[in-house]
């Protein structure tokens, strides 16, 4: 079911007031999240987002620009030893899928294949997608992906004068293609000053194995260091790198 259809089926009855008297707030929120295809935090995005893919024959910058102006994103599909196929995907649907953390896509239309988002190219402002690399996968195939890490809770170390510093923003994991988590949480509720949490402390879902070394620090809370006293002393001008006299002679 498409995102638009899910939205219509899941949210519109609530907005019309048809369902409100019969559901509690929590159920409403769950349904709302389900309708957007957003799972619970840390939960795998098991549903593949269905996108209509067109095979594209055009190549080059100008054709790609025209395509983007028409609301499509150029993409390439490769993998499994088969030939690479150039595609055009609907920009709005693809952006929504990316925003909601989907990694697995089900392509329909020009090609009927399941694929994983391998790489995204963004514009300067990081708002519009310029190009997408897709790789063919089977649902049960184990894949290696980078998953963002999300801090959960409040570290007591901050109140004791520590500075919370997230060193690692993403972690590389290996998991079935159909069970790629949208994010991985780490609980920092017990993080005191001068303590650190490592990759080993991540709450990994079932079937998900971290490939990043287990002893790598994810987040730590060192003591806040006072800025050194401002000194007005020091050179007013930087040192000039002088040429060797021998070099100058050779050139001259």
Partner 1 sequence: MALMPKRVKHRKAQRGRIRGNATRGNRVVFGQFGLQATQGGWISAATIEAGRIAAQQYLRGEGRLYIRVFPHKPITSIPLETRMGKGKGEPEYWAAVVRPGTILYEIGGVNEDMAKICFARLAHKMPVRVQLVKRHAGT
Contacts to partner 1 by CB under 8 A? 98, 101, 103, 117, 119-120, 122, 124-126, 145-148, 158, 161, 163-166, 169-170, 183, 224, 227, 230-232, 234, 237-241
Residue 160, CA distances (Å) to 157, 163, 164, 191, 194 in order: 5, 9, 11, 11, 10
Nearer to partner 1, 67 or 188 (CB): 188
CA angle 106, 108, 109 (to 5 degrees): 165
Q: Closest CB to partner 1 among 21 and 228?
A: 228
Q: What are phi and psi of 113, to 5 degrees?
A: -145, 155
Q: Are 77 and 85 in contact (CB under 8 A)?
A: yes
Of 147 and 208, which CB lies nearer to partner 1 in the complex structure?
147
Query: Least separation, in Å, of the C-beta of 237 and partner 1?
Result: 7
Nearest distance in Å: CB 23, partner 1? 30
Q: Give min distance, CB of 225 to partner 1, in A.
A: 9
CB atoms within 10 A of CB 16: 9
Q: Given the complex with partner 1, which of 101 and 110 has the nearer CB atom? A: 101
* Shortest CB 188 distance to partner 1, Å: 10
Q: Which of 167, 172, 164 is nearest to 148 (CA)?
A: 172
CB of 204 to partner 1, least distance (A): 16
Phi-psi region of 16 (alpha: psi -120 to 50; beta: other; left: phi over 0): alpha
């Amino acid at each position: 079911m498409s995102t638009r259809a899910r939205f219509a089926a899941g949210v519109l009855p609530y907005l019309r007031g048809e369902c409100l008297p019969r559901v509690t707030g929590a159920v409403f929120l769950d349904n709302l999240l389900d309708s957007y295809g957003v799972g619970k935090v840390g939960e795998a995005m098991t549903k593949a987002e269905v996108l209509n893919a067109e095979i594209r024959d055009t190549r080059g910058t100008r054709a790609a620009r025209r395509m983007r102006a028409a609301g499509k994103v150029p993409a390439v599909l490769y993998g499994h030893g088969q030939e690479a196929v150039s595609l055009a995907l609907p920009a709005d649907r693809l952006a929504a899928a990316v925003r909601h953390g989907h990694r697995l896509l089900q392509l329909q239309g020009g090609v009927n294949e399941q694929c994983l988002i391998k790489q995204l190219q963004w514009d300067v402002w990081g708002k519009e997608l310029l190009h997408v690399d897709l790789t063919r996968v089977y649902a049960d195939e184990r894949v290696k992906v980078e998953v963002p890490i999300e801090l959960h809770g409040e570290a007591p170390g901050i109140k004791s004068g520590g500075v919370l510093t997230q060193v690692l923003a993403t972690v590389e994991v290996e998991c079935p293609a159909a069970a790629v988590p949208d994010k991985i949480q780490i609980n920092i509720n017990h993080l005191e000053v001068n303590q650190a949490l490592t990759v080993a402390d991540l709450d990994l879902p079932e079937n998900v194995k971290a490939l990043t070394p287990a002893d790598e620090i994810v987040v730590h809370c060192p003591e806040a260091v006072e800025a050194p006293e401002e000194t007005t002393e020091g050179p007013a001008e930087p040192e000039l790198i002088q040429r060797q006299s021998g070099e100058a002679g050779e050139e001259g």
